């Protein structure tokens, strides 16, 4: 499901696109929680807050596209449940503790369908403030000591000419450990290969706003040269402004500390130790009261079906099948609560997220199992990034369709 067709909501305001952007800029200054969402994510949140008795309302059309729910005698109740469920996915991606009940806050901040863009943004701002205690959790200094610094994390230069993996095990361990005592949220990482100029500018706006958070910029070397110029211009501006901002880590093989404002990050040896990183990860899951997924890995030569090893985390079973281990899954694990996702030479993130959302709705309160049937020809760099986002950041968002899926913290 793509959200390109959702542009009709702009026209429903009966005002120009420039007016919408001006209002959005204004309310992002008044409610900094809006900076945690892209322009189109904000549009989806507004749609979800819409209220209308019409069977052909903007929200119901959106939910039908997203969940394919059919018209029933109790359609309004069904739409209400799906609305809250999808709101949870978007809001959980922030990893901020909710100070009030979602259903109650939703009821207090519904948006009339014919509201102007300014009225919509005002209501959404009130909704986010009410739900997250005005975002005070993100403004606490905590154990942060290195605010206002920009660090360069130099990746292994031995493969400087390689266009293959950037997110190998060493990079993964460094990336995870940089966030120290807090599990990262998706809004703290900019994946440059999928970022637009608007994404870059919004990301640096977050850096300037959330002084005590850590931010990471990945895949700089693989950016289009035009977008890279925008990124480096923002980095230079951040340096010259000399104002308080969050700590930023730039991962690159090509950048050097000769750039004004960048200092080399001395990677502690323990950051490169996978076993120590694993222990730290388990500690953060426990401290954050997040239920870890149970992961089993089946790996071997195609067709043999030999079970080599498994990694157990907790209650949700995620099975990784490499090189044709489908037979073992079908014979030993398959039941009505198990779903298969095959990953071959292409990986459509929007389709994957859409399938996750549908699977989540269909299985409800059960303990579902998913297995990824991963081909040897799979796009592993993209897959590694997706798995990091899903299991470490707890959510997946596709920048094109703006679909979001978040793992449950309780099952």
- Of the options 3.90.480, 3.30.70, 2.60.40, 3.40.50, the CATH number for the domain spanning 150-272: 3.40.50
What sign results for the dihedral spanned by CA atoms 13, 15, 21, 27? negative
Domain boundaries, the chain: 4-139, 150-272, 290-406
Mean per-residue pLDDT pooled into runs of 10, the chain (411 residues): 51 73 94 95 92 72 76 69 93 93 94 87 96 91 70 74 64 90 92 93 96 94 94 96 92 92 93 90 86 75 46 49 62 79 88 89 78 85 90 91 87 71
Q: Please answer whether residues 193 and 219 qualify as being in contact, where contact means their C-beta atoms are separated by less than 8 angstroms.
A: yes
pLDDT at 315: 45
pTM: 0.87
C-alpha span between 281 and 217 (Å, rounded) = 21
Total number of residues shown for the chain:
411
pLDDT at 401: 84
C-alpha span between 70 and 399 (Å, rounded) = 27
């Amino acid at each position: 499901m793509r959200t390109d067709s959702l542009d009709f909501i702009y026209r429903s305001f009966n005002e120009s696109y420039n007016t919408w952007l001006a209002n959005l800029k204004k309310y992002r200054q008044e409610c900094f929680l809006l900076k945690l969402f892209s322009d189109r994510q904000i549009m989806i949140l507004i749609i979800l807050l819409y209220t209308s008795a019409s069977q052909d309302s903007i929200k119901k059309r959106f939910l039908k596209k997203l969940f394919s729910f059919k018209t029933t005698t109790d359609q309004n109740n069904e739409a209400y449940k799906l609305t809250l469920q999808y709101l949870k996915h978007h809001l959980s991606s922030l990893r901020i503790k909710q100070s009030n009940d979602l259903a109650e806050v939703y009821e207090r901040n519904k948006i009339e369908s014919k509201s102007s863009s300014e009225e919509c943004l005002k209501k959404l701002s009130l909704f986010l403030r009410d739900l997250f205690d005005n975002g005070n959790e993100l403004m606490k200094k905590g154990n942060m000591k290195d605010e206002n610094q920009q660090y360069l994390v130099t990746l292994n230069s031995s493969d400087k000419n390689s266009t293959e993996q950037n997110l190998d095990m060493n990079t993964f361990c460094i990336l995870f450990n940089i966030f120290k005592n807090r599990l990262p949220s998706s809004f703290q990482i900019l994946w440059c290969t999928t970022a637009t100029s608007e994404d870059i500018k919004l990301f640096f706006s977050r850096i300037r706003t959330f002084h005590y958070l850590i931010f990471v910029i990945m895949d700089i070397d693989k950016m289009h040269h035009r977008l890279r110029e925008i990124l480096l211009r923002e980095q230079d501006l951040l340096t010259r402004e000399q104002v308080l901002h969050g700590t930023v880590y730039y991962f690159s093989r090509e950048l050097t500390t000769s750039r004004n404002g960048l200092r080399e990050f001395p990677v502690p040896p323990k950051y490169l130790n996978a076993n120590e990183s694993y222990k730290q990860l388990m500690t953060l899951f426990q401290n954050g009261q997040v239920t870890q997924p149970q992961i089993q890995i089946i790996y071997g030569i195609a067709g043999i079906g030999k079970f080599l090893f498994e990694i157990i985390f907790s209650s949700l079973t995620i099975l990784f099948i490499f090189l044709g281990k489908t037979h073992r899954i079908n014979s030993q694990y398959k039941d009505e609560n198990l779903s298969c996702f095959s990953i071959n030479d292409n990986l459509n993130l929007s389709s994957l997220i859409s399938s996750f959302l549908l699977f989540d709705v269909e299985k409800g309160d059960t303990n579902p199992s998913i297995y990824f049937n991963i081909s040897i020809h799979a796009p592993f760099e993209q897959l590694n990034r997706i798995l990091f986002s899903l299991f470490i950041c707890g959510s997946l968002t596709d920048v094109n369709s703006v679909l979001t899926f978040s793992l449950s913290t309780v099952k």
